[in-house]
A and B are shown apart, each in its own frame.
Chain A
Amino acid sequence: MTAVWTTPKTWNTGDPLTASDMNTHIRDNMEFLLTGGTSVQNRVDASDVSITSTSFVDVDTTNFKVTITPTSSTNLVVVFITGAVSFPSTGYAFFDLTDNGARLGQDDGLFVIGSTSTFLANRIPINIAIPLRNLSVASHEFRLQAKVSAGTLTFLMGAGTANGDIHPYMTAKEIN
């Protein structure tokens, strides 16, 4: 069972010590703290996704996203993305993250890869961590977005591609 955080009860003189309170406020909160907060992870086994769009679009609308509800707005939430792309084009591929549909980066997004050669850009690892603070205590769905200046970007999704059967992960973790 996933541990859930409950705001600890303030005990007053004379309050009865009940099993229910002990389980909720001591056991469950200790378990929650031990597991390090809410963590959601999505391993993708789908079709590779190719993008030629020159405006930002979701890399994958169904398989590559994570949802997290922070327990406190003062906690740090870190979104980790690991995987690989193929970009055998002369141009740039830009990436951004959306929080409930709103892009977090401005302009050309949060990070970029550039290529001037088909030989240099056939397999590029993506390993990034995006720290976020002051998120509201509500459900947040994060999706990876991408666009290109020219050419075709392919995000490898564990689809059995020769020398490219790479399984990306997307994780959101709250740090108390």
Chain B
Amino acid sequence: MKKSMFVVERSQANGDCVLFCAETASIIVLNSDAMQLLRSEEWDKLPMLEDMMRMKFIVDDDEDQVEIQRQIRNYVKEPREVKTLAFVIAPTLFCNARCAYCFEKGTKQCRMEPSTEAAMIDFIASTAKRFNAQKIAVTWFGGEPLLEQELIRRVSKALIGVVGKDNYNASIATNGSLIDDDVIGLFKVCNITSVQVTIDGTEENYNRIKNYVAPDRFNFQTVIRNIERCLENEILMTIRLNISAVNYNDVRVVLEQLAQRFGPYKKQMHIYAFPIMGDKDDESLYQSGSGSQELKEALDGITMRLFELGYKDSYKSLALKARPVHCAAFRYHSYSIDPNGDIFRCEHHLGHKDWAVGNVFEGIDEDSSKFRYWLEPEVPDKCNSCKILPMCQGGCVMEIGTNLDACSKQLLTLGTSLDLAYKLYERRVNS
């Protein structure tokens, strides 16, 4: 037997040690005596040995853990029948906001034509049939998808017709400025049960960054009111806080404002911070490479505050997960469709035709190098000795060459997350 290579240790002030196994995303606590036995490999004296083996903290001597991870990545990259097929659909690349950091900058703005819409519905229905999927999940994306409300209504109706209302679910990523009572009605008819909105700072900074086309109608106050409208209608809200080296303190303030305003709705809200991605040489952005200490402090600061405010109140809310591949784009079944009908593996490539792996008219060319590129199970060599390989699986393709082109941000914040896990444990034993 041996201790798993995927175990991260986090010592606590009282001598206890939190152990996290990235392979199973399990968390345990050992006191100092148990840690001593673990370090000296006195397996026969170690309590709960079977549990530790089941959770993969301890593995057989001959277990090739890196090879198992490679096989797992390969497994989900192969075609197979699935219960649910998920699609990202951008009905338009037009937007009423003009954020400086938008990854769709430079793409040709366009909206989906009726012929493309019809072909897309056929493509989704035939793909679901091909892989025997019982359920369809859609994420509405853009541009600003709520500029195309009638398309959303029509497509939702058609897809509900394919699998039935109980087997169809949707979410939407929107700037939130266009949500009114009619849109709430649209969400209900179209089974859109969760909404993601990005907040970049307090009112003045938010309005400056968003740079809406009609700032008297679309602005910070509009969006805050619309978030409330969603919460009042039992819609799950995800609030993304885009952070950079210049807006961090402002985002901390807006976090307090959100907590104060929406306190009663904590269970309906998921708030998280993510660094803005951009030019590697842009000093206004966080760098995840050698300068990552600043980014670590920023992410840790928001994570700690979310814990204190009650938004992280369970082990699962710490979002420590093992995953077979880095993100959905690496699964065989990954479909992001833009207004032209082009199909991409990653939604961040919408509108960038050179990344398309097919289109809704002709289908996907599964033999093309662009498609096969995503199915390559290898990861960079350095990842094969990383303790959190099962959580990260090699990282994000989009971040290559950007300010975030380094190790997973999960690695930066893992220590703080394990400290919070211990705090949750203390709450439990002291209650």
**Chains A and B come from one and the same complex:** no
Q: Taking beta carbons and an 8 Å cutoff, which residues of B are in contact with A?
A: none
